[in-house]
Structure 1
Amino acid sequence: MDLKEIRATAREKLKGFCRVCPVCDGRACAGEVPGMGGVGTGKAFQENLRALSRYKLNLRTIHGVKEPDLSFELFGVKVSMPVFAAPITGTTYNMGGALTDEEYSLAVVEGSLLAGTLAFTGDGADPTMYGSGLKAIKKVEGKGIPIIKPRAQEEIIKRIREAEETGAIAVGVDIDGAGLLTMALKGQPVSPKTLEEVMEIVNSTRLPFILKGIMTPDEAELAVQAGAKAIVVSNHGGRTLDETPGAADVLPEIAARVKGKITILADGGVRSGVDVLKLLALGADGVLIGRPIIVAAFGGGAEGVKIYLEKIKKELREAMLLTGVARVTEVPGTIIRKEQ
């Protein structure tokens, strides 16, 4: 099995829902929500890639880096690289149903582990979707991170308790899912949270807590104040609010405000190991990848996810070698330059 075969198989299984474009940039699927696209004009999805493309790497080869160190630790768990599968559900109404949510979650969780890293699992309009991720995490003895939609307080805390029972290494809420169209269509209310509500959720568990969907420095500071251990800088793949900036454009100002106070993860438009290195240079500690993982899982199951993530790892290593970066935990901002 190789990436070409994986993509060909995925194209068949995702027919009518994802075109498996040569570059997954959101242009062909603009407005397709439910589906794989970005909401409205699709510009928020597309801007994630544009924002990353505006940064270039400075090629440097006169240095002493011979074998870059890609290893990383998240909440005490050592991984092969700071790259994780993003939380995704809705395989039936967003992806055509060739894989069930349970099959998809297991493929992503197991495939990520085969590549030496971890997967985040998601929550959705059908209550069984969250359970599918928990089953997969339980099967691998807790080596995964469930993310919950911003539901009513009692519903979130109930799901946190379920996450704790699986032995998950952390838990979180994708607060950027507050306006999800698919949740509204299925009668599952979600909403923004006050700082007090966030604090109540964070304090309800001893697990490290992650707030996904932070796009401004002030909300990053509120996450720190609430006691969260990590944030994910993300516009939810452009699926909730149209016309938002790309994650790469807001990441530097967020990092300037909270770097060192909280773990900073970033999610949006990552398509290569070069993109991973750019986000690390912009201030992220780690990176999440979404839609390409869907293609890998539909095209090759756990093995497909492993093959795709190993490609990312190889590209990241090469980019580090050619920019003089010795360790992923120490990526200087000087390796990138922004186009004028």
Structure 2
Amino acid sequence: MEYREILENARKTMAPNCRVCRECNGIACRGEIPGTGGKGTGSSFTHSYEYLASIKIHMDLLYTDRGQDTSCSFFDKTFAGPVFAAPISGLSNNYNGYLNEKTYAEALVPGTIAAGCAAFTGDGAADYYFTDPLTAVAAAGGAAVPTIKPWDREKVLEKIHLAEQAGAMALCMDIDSAGLPLLAAAGKPVCSKDVDELKAILASTKLPFLLKGIMTPEGARKAVETGAYGIVVSNHGGRVLDHTPAPAEMLPAIRDAVGTRVKIFVDGAIRTGVDVFKALALGADAVLIGRPYVVAACGGGAEGVTVYTQKVLAELRDVMKMTGCATLSDITRDKITWNR
């Protein structure tokens, strides 16, 4: 299956909720919630895309070629590259229901694994948003990261236990979900979390735990205090707050604030291996990619997910070749020009 074929199929299966635009930049769907767009004016989504596009890469072919190795390690496991599928839920509300929580996870989890990577699975207003994907997580031997909304502590602990039973390799909480309009409309008690409560939650499990929705250096420093394994720099795809900076825009300051004390993932308008290279140069250890994985799954099932992941990794290797980078550690800030 070719990527072009995946896109053609997805345009049919995802209509009319997602147009499967040539550039997934948030313009056509701005303000569409329920739907795939960004909140309000949609600028948080569109700016994330535009900011990444504005970053320029320094080409250098005068070096001894040692090949390009994209492998990396997280959660005591080795992956083919620093590319993970972001947690997405509400397939029926935000897309058109062609895939539901269970069938999406059944494409996403094995599809990413086949390419040597892995997926974060989602959570949402209904309990099955979290529990249905766990079937796919368990079937894959736990090689995925279930993501929990910032519910009250009792509900969070209950979901941690379910994820542990499924054998999950790590856990995540997308604390930025406290701003999701659909959860608020459903009357679900999601809320912000302070450092002490997060410490208690993280202490309840031995699994590596990530906090998603970090967008400031101070927020990153607080996340370090909780004992988190890692953070995800993310504005939730522009769906929770209008007029935010791009996650990539905040990466250098966040990396400078916390150094290597936590792993730094970033999520926001990353579409290609070129974008992955830019994110790593700005300070990320790995990336999460959201909407394009729904397109890949709707257009080609698990095979579509694998093809898309392999495409991104091939693009990353190509940029590394053109910039003299043999390993991911060679991808440093001097390889790019960006708006500081």
The alignment's TM-score, normalised by the length of structure 2, stands at 0.98
Corresponding residue of 2:139? 139
**How many Å apart are 1:256 and its aligned residue?**
0.6
User: Once the two structures are aligned, what percentage of the paired residues are identical?
Assistant: 46
SS in 2 for 1:92: helix
**How many Å apart are 1:339 and its aligned residue?**
5.2
Corresponding residue of 1:107? 107
Q: Distance in 1 between matches of 2:57 and 2:210?
A: 30
Corresponding residue of 2:323? 323
* 1:66–1:321 CA contact under 8 A, matched in 2: no
* 1:87–1:121 CA contact under 8 A, matched in 2: yes
Corresponding residue of 1:72? 72
Check 1:93–1:206 CA distance in 2 against 1; reply closer, same or farther (3 A cut).
same
**How many Å apart are 1:330 and its aligned residue?**
3.6
Corresponding residue of 1:291? 291
* 1:126–1:186 CA contact under 8 A, matched in 2: no
* Structure 1 consecutive aligned stretches of length 4 or more whose deviation exceeds 6 Å: none
Q: Distance in 2 between matches of 1:241 and 1:135?
A: 32
Q: Distance in 1 between matches of 2:323 and 2:189?
A: 47
Corresponding residue of 1:14? 14
SS in 2 for 1:237: helix
Residue 179 (structure 2) pairs with residue 179 (structure 1): yes
Corresponding residue of 2:56? 56
* 1:229–1:263 CA contact under 8 A, matched in 2: yes
**How many Å apart are 1:298 and its aligned residue?**
0.4
Residue 259 (structure 2) pairs with residue 247 (structure 1): no
Amino acid at match of 2:250: V
* 1:85–1:112 CA contact under 8 A, matched in 2: yes
Structure 1 unaligned spans of 5+: none
Deviations 1:277-320 (A, max 9, x none): 00000000001100100100000000000000111011000000
* 1:51–1:247 CA contact under 8 A, matched in 2: no
Amino acid at match of 1:129: Y
Corresponding residue of 1:196? 196
Deviations 1:9-35 (A, max 9, x none): 111111121000000000000000111
Corresponding residue of 2:28? 28
Aligned Cα root-mean-square deviation (Å): 1.0
SS in 2 for 1:147: strand
Corresponding residue of 2:336? 336
Q: Distance in 2 between matches of 1:265 and 1:317?
A: 19
Residue 191 (structure 2) pairs with residue 228 (structure 1): no
* 1:56–1:339 CA contact under 8 A, matched in 2: no
Q: Distance in 2 between matches of 1:231 and 1:272?
A: 21
Structure 2 unaligned spans of 5+: none
Check 1:205–1:339 CA distance in 2 against 1; reply closer, same or farther (3 A cut).
closer
Q: Distance in 2 between matches of 1:282 and 1:339?
A: 11
Deviations 1:144-177 (A, max 9, x none): 0001011111111110011111111111100011
Residue 257 (structure 2) pairs with residue 257 (structure 1): yes
SS in 2 for 1:321: helix
Tell me the matched-pair count.
340
**How many Å apart are 1:47 and its aligned residue?**
1.2
Corresponding residue of 1:43? 43
Amino acid at match of 1:267: D
Residue 170 (structure 2) pairs with residue 170 (structure 1): yes
